Chain A
């Protein structure tokens, strides 16, 4: 598992690996919003939590189809399936690699982009915490979606349609944490819900992804 994780991280940072694509996309979407909404800083402050979370979600979505498609095309997925590494472990390693190359950089960049949207002061720590807790769920759910759609040519759009509805709970509670934090309300309930969704996804979805992979490799 560690070997697969290290290989994926190494591939991501080499030429054509796509590391930073999601981050750049996140940056551009967030920068575009004030142009579209206009220079009304009160309005921006109000919608900032939602914008930041939706943008992070779309940025995570962008790199999902690379998770398994490349390994499927060059045959290494079939070789991995016949190796001693269980497919559940492979799916989890892939999800962790995706989070380390997408979710974690997004989380770290988000406060800087919050400033662009006039995010109220108290919300920054909640933004950081909610993304830190929520983005692993995006990666694990996305890995499951990617496992379902390998073998389908140009499956990227189908993958998005499959995965976006599954992202809704994470989005609702994640943005809610930041909104409540911005307004100085209690954030415990949405934080616990967010953490619950992430923990549940990590516990269950690698197994579902492994079954989907085995069936798709037949």
Chain B
């Protein structure tokens, strides 16, 4: 199993932001996406996850193995931590894995309504979802936002020991150092050239 992207062109709001993106990630490895704000990291991840169509190019990975985690955690405030995780587990047709609660330090919070969690705890709950759904190819958009240093390490340990070590793949957009041994991909060279708009406006300036 591997994730292979060939000559991908991504659109955001009808404007092309990235073009010619090519990379391959073998099983058991992560890829860190780097680049300044607005370069198109989120657009690339959403395109890879299948939320928006690619304008050109190919994305190849086992379609039933992909999972996406966005800035928002998709947590229901009225449900408890355990209920939130159990819901996602059953959507993916899996039994709830209690070990995930421990891996993300959520055991003491399991019966608390998610509304009472701090933003860092909510983020941990959102990331714990990745543990219960059992997907092999993860597309993670800024997974460490609002996490403290201890939680970042929890998450990095989970990724390394529970996910990558079992042959998983992860593509991660992040600005901090997760402590993973993973190649980085700078998106700067793939910035799409401004499209020719058919005629110059300079004559009007």
Which residue numbers of B lie inside 8 Å of A, CB to CB? 49-53, 64, 66-76, 78-79, 83, 87-88, 90-93, 129, 133
Interface centre among B64, B73, B74, B93 (most CB of A within 10 A): B74
A-B contact list, 23 entries, CB within 8 Å: A3-B87, A4-B91, A7-B79, A7-B87, A10-B78, A10-B79, A11-B76, A11-B78, A11-B79, A14-B79, A16-B78, A17-B78, A71-B74, A75-B71, A75-B72, A76-B72, A76-B76, A78-B51, A80-B74, A81-B51, A82-B51, A83-B92, A85-B91
Find out whether the CB atom of B68 lies under 8 angstroms from the CB atom of A7: no
0 or 1 for each of A151-162: is its CB under 8 Å from B? (1 = yes): 000000000000
Tell whether A15 is near chain B: CB-to-CB under 8 Å: yes
A83→B64 CA distance, assembly (Å) = 9
A7→B87 CA distance, assembly (Å) = 7
Tell whether A84 is near chain B: CB-to-CB under 8 Å: yes
Q: How many whole Å from B62's CB to the nearest CB in chain A?
A: 12
In the bound complex, residues from chain B placing their C-beta under 8 Å from that of A83 are 67, 88, 91-92, 133
In the bound complex, residues from chain A placing their C-beta under 8 Å from that of B71 are 75
How many positions in chain A have a CB within 8 Å of any CB in the partner chain?
25
Closest to A218 in B: B52
A4→B66 CA distance, assembly (Å) = 20
Q: How many whole Å from B65's CB to the nearest CB in chain A?
A: 10
Q: How many whole Å from A74's CB to the nearest CB in chain B?
A: 6
Tell whether A192 is near chain B: CB-to-CB under 8 Å: no
Q: A3-B87, A3-B91, A4-B91 are in contact. Are A79 and B68 (CB under 8 A)?
A: yes
Q: How many whole Å from A63's CB to the nearest CB in chain B?
A: 16
Q: A84-B91, A84-B92, A218-B51 are in contact. Are A78 and B74 (CB under 8 A)?
A: yes
A83→B71 CA distance, assembly (Å) = 17
0 or 1 for each of A1-44: is its CB under 8 Å from B? (1 = yes): 01110010011001111000000000000000000000000000
A46→B129 CA distance, assembly (Å) = 56
In the bound complex, residues from chain B placing their C-beta under 8 Å from that of A17 are 78
A74→B74 CA distance, assembly (Å) = 5
In the bound complex, residues from chain A placing their C-beta under 8 Å from that of B75 are 74, 76
A76→B122 CA distance, assembly (Å) = 13
Closest to B126 in A: A75
Find out whether the CB atom of A76 lies under 8 angstroms from the CB atom of B92: no
In the bound complex, residues from chain B placing their C-beta under 8 Å from that of A14 are 78-79
